A and B are shown apart, each in its own frame.
Chain A
Amino acid sequence: MATITPEIAEAPAVPQQAPEKLTAAKRAYPGALVVVEGIDGSGKSTQLYLLKRWLEIGGYRIHFTEWNSSPLVKSATRRGKQRRLLTPTTFSMLHAADFADRCERQILPLLHGGYLVLADRYIYTAFARDAARGCSPHWLRNLYSFAPVPDITFYFRAPLDVAVTRIVAGRPKLKYYEAGMDLGLSLDRAESFRIFQEKILNNYDQMVETDRFVLMDGTVRVNKLQKLMRQLLGDKIDLAHFAPKKK
């Protein structure tokens, strides 16, 4: 770990040395990791779903994983959320434990087993969201430093209004933590959600360069964007490696 100095912790930007350290981690497995990131309503899940369908239909060796889905810590997360017990720190720790479980029991074994792993949200979600809650960016970087570095990270970016409208229109009620109500930004859930998402969006934007995000315009037509995504994936990853064996 790099030397922690108060100057870094005070700086609003993501510490400069962290991404280098992450990418320098030697990739000791034959698999590959594809990640989509972006705020709610940016279109990332739709696009990853279509990418997954394309690869599935083609018979590729793939595995799809989602953020916050591990059964091991589910009861704790549910209890914490229902009773609103979570602070920025325990919220972050619990999600890190959840991610560690998925990482150690799914993602890493599959990467070693030569799978193309598709992840809907990854550690950058924690960096953007937990920092918006007030956690130190430097602390967060260290907390997740055990995570394998993605081979490609697609960052879906839509203007805040577009993204927020997509979410608010499609959901009867925003949940307490989802709307960032724990931050006391606004008593109105929709308004709180909007302010929270804006903070997250700003944090994502700061990682585009440091974490080599591939920027995707979330306002582009779905099929057109998907075509571009498939092309970019093929440019970056040798898909033949994951293709079904021909006889």
Chain B
Amino acid sequence: MRRLRPAGSRLSPSNGNSVKAGKGAGNNQAPSIRFYGVPLPGVRPEELSGNLIVVEGTDGSGRSTQISLLTEWLEGEGFAVQTMGLRRSFLVGEDIDALLAENAVTRMTLALMYGTDFFDQLERRILPALRSGLIVLADRYIFTLIARAAVRGIGRDYLHGVYEIALRPDLTFWLNVKPEVAFDREFKKSQTISYWESGRDMSLSNDLFKSFIRYQSMIKREFEYLSKRHDFIELDGESSVSRVNHLLRKRIASHLGIRGTHYKPSHALAHLWR
């Protein structure tokens, strides 16, 4: 296999100086900067004509709402959209659900199962979509996986090494919210707080609220570190849905060369607009 020499910043933190990932360059990017390091086997970066846009943020940051709205907007503009998210792979998605339900899994196994899930989606969903020129909207990406594993004591260098063969997003948005706000929103939505989202496997506190806040604060610190390293576009997730959506559209429109950013949600999505 021919291996391309990476040109831009690498995922590995040992190479500190990060280069901007061809922002605004649309499809004219040099193919070699589409991956952090040597791409995973069987991939020719020059074939990938689509765009990968990542929205990161904790549960309760409004991520999924924004993905729904962006999908509708982009489809209205005539772009075909493919989505991805965690635990959605055919290969191991359900197996991870089962592992989480049992609470019998150890941290490294879980981290690597999430990695398997990610790469299965990357190879079977994202790369084919990008080859066909689609816009891929990722509801979380490797950064959540790195942050979750890192707060559980798995080395950052190790994690960056695992995901070094992954595709570099064109744009990565981070919807940043305070843990307290995330707690309120999540509680309102499901009337409870999930075992894993409150990091209860980490024995932080027997009090669910305290455990959630501590855990989410740790995740947030990892994201602050990742944000600098990987040129995240940080947005205030505590702003209104329409405000955050406006900022997302503006940035994406300039990247894709869309002139107008006017958008009003359809009747089906109007309930999300607040």
Contact = CB atoms under 8 A, between A and B. Distances in A.
Interface of A: 1-4, 6, 9-10, 72-73, 75-76, 79-80, 85-90, 93-94, 96-97, 100-101, 103-105, 133-136, 138-139, 142-143, 145-146
Interface of B: 1, 3, 5-6, 10, 12, 14-15, 37-38, 40-42, 90-92, 95, 99, 104-109, 111-113, 115-116, 119-120, 123-124, 154-155, 157-158, 160-162, 164-165
Contact of B120 (A90, A134, A139, A145): A90
A101 B14 contact: no
B108 A104 contact: yes
A76 B164 contact: no
Question: Across chains A and B, which 7 residue pairs bring their CB atoms closest together, nearest first?
Answer: A142-B161, A134-B41, A97-B112, A1-B157, A104-B106, A100-B108, A93-B116
B109 A101 contact: yes
B42 to A, nearest CB: 7
Given A72-B105, A90-B116, A93-B112, 11 more contacts: A9-B37, A9-B38, A79-B91, A94-B92, A97-B112, A100-B109, A101-B106, A104-B107, A142-B164, A143-B162, A145-B161
A136 B5 CA distance: 13
B112 A6 contact: no
Contacts of B1: 134
Contacts of A94: 91-92, 116
Nearest to B104: A72
Contacts of B6: 6
B91 A90 contact: yes
Contact of A90 (B10, B119, B161, B164): B119
Contact of A4 (B12, B105, B108, B115): B12
A3 B12 contact: yes
Nearest to B95: A76
> Most chain-B CB neighbours within 10 Å: which of A10, A105, A133, A139?
A139
Contacts of B107: 104
A4 B9 CA distance: 12
A146 B116 contact: no
A97 B10 contact: no
